[in-house]
Structure 1
């Protein structure tokens, strides 16, 4: 059972929200968060922008291909990515990724630091502005949730603030085509997310499933005006396994399915290590950028297909 938690209570009944989110992140590692701070109008505009982009001709989308850059920005075509590293099938989805938007003369961009390259933008009026406004709003919502996490783990509420100031956070637009009936077809293979937490909004088309502790796959409920929020691998490491990063997948839908994911990631040089009070470390400390790079390398590695 995936709990539904009302974010509107974060100010009036914060103790209860901290307790409820803490329980959700311990098991099942997912929650549905209603009444988030991100404006409804902005969320609608992001979906509209995604539709305009994905409806472009393939040759126009190829101009901003994610394969053009080592910084994982731009359009990912069907087959560019396989999230389930144990299976031979490729994901049928297509994506568009945006990272922290830095000026071209930023020293980190000039130095070609990992994940510090420029975003790629299609020639769609208002597209860049809408996505960057959403990036900032979703990052702010993510930091607000991180403050709850800190309190749940008996840390100051601002514990994570400085660690997420210049983040690796990524905004991802996704579109899944309708199922064709092909063997082993999958929208997005079973995987865990890489970062701290993920904020996901969907168009209501079914397909997202979470693997319960008994191994069964359960459907994530559709709730209006809500985010689906889950724990990522870095937060599981930070919490020393107090929180769980739960495998999930997207089945090929009956109809076209659209979603927008925001992956809340730390600053590149942040060291992810067991937080104070969580016991003896179960994982070695690792730099956030190094962990992300290792996971992306596996995701984009070529696969043999039958």
Structure 2
């Protein structure tokens, strides 16, 4: 299985080796046209930081339910989502399953109270909700900074994979939208219904998902052959994939590969995926195969922005967003 998922080693790029960017861009192109996932090594994020972030996720979910519900998820998709608080619909693969058997807390960029978007109540640009756990906020922010930094360093590879200049994506990611999700998957009993999953088969919504490898099994991928296989966890590597936004932006040339989680390990499982997208107001017009200038592109989908896309997704999949109150939040600048 590990041989089927490409491994990109960033060391030559960091060392300034001649031709490294073009070689890695070609490897990335193959990864996204043949598999939809890839590993990255020598990524610059210390294992100690990842371990501490997993520990923070475990500390959060070990709290009493009352403490967690005090931070209940809101229309900005920030806060705590209780167990079975989401059903995979918009991005489902196959039939819609039962509500997902996990709980999670979501964090976005940590905006100050006087930020213009916060003051205007712009959707998905609200303030984070923090638990009263010593050192927790600092750990989450450190992890977000590290993941964001890696994502930005990878953007030139994505551009070269599409035959574009290395700096093509930079203006779109001046202040990227991102979400760190800290998930808890309890042990699923053998008697659980067949269509209940930790997370049902789905594709991500994001441009880029960075996943710190989990030593407790449960994640599986649907390979191009249609076979579901367990995801490996090679030491020192991060697993990265693209989602619906990347596929749309690349005019469907890049894959968004389905995956799912089933936790029958006998242990509690935690995950800390980091979902990264372009800036809130960036207009993403499909990048067609001829790589024509942005204003002249006529792809298979119309241009879209982050709030346009995420509003429909959230209302369809997250139970807390399925009522009219979420529509009262302004969509300024969208």
> Shared topology, TM-score over 0.5?
yes
C-alpha distance after superposition, 1:128-181 (max 9, x if no partner): 111111111111101111211012212221221221222221111111111212
Choose which of 28, 38, 43 in structure 1 pairs with 2:50.
43
Aligned equivalents of 2:8, 2:238: Cα separation in 1: 10
Q: Extract structure 1 runs of 4+ deviating beyond 6 A.
A: none
Report the CA distance between 1:258 and its aligned residue.
1.6
The reply on whether 1:138 has 2:144 as its aligned counterpart is no
Please give the TM-score of this superposition, normalised by the length of structure 1.
0.93
Choose which of 124, 136, 152 in structure 2 pairs with 1:127.
136
Partner of 1:165: 174
C-alpha distance after superposition, 1:194-231 (max 9, x if no partner): 12110001321111111122322122111111111001
Choose which of 255, 268, 292 in structure 2 pairs with 1:256.
268
Choose which of 4, 14, 17 in structure 1 pairs with 2:7.
4
C-alpha distance after superposition, 1:59-108 (max 9, x if no partner): 11111111xx2111111111111224542401111111100111011111
Verify the 8 A CA contact 2:33 2:254 in the aligned structure 1. yes
Partner of 1:183: 193
Partner of 2:209: 198
Between 246-255 and 225-234, the greater mean CA deviation after superposition? 246-255
Partner of 1:76: 81
Between 179-188 and 85-94, the greater mean CA deviation after superposition? 85-94
- Measured on the aligned residues, the alpha-carbon RMSD in Å equals 1.7
Q: Which sections of structure 1, spanning at least 5 residues, go unmatched?
A: none
The reply on whether 1:230 has 2:237 as its aligned counterpart is no
Partner of 2:303: 285
Q: Which sections of structure 2, spanning at least 5 residues, go unmatched?
A: 292-296, 321-334
Choose which of 13, 26, 30 in structure 1 pairs with 2:33.
26
Structure 1 residue matching 2:273: 3-state secondary structure: strand
Aligned equivalents of 2:120, 2:298: Cα separation in 1: 37
Please give the TM-score of this superposition, normalised by the length of structure 2.
0.85
C-alpha distance after superposition, 1:223-280 (max 9, x if no partner): 1111110011111111111211111111123222221100011111111211253575
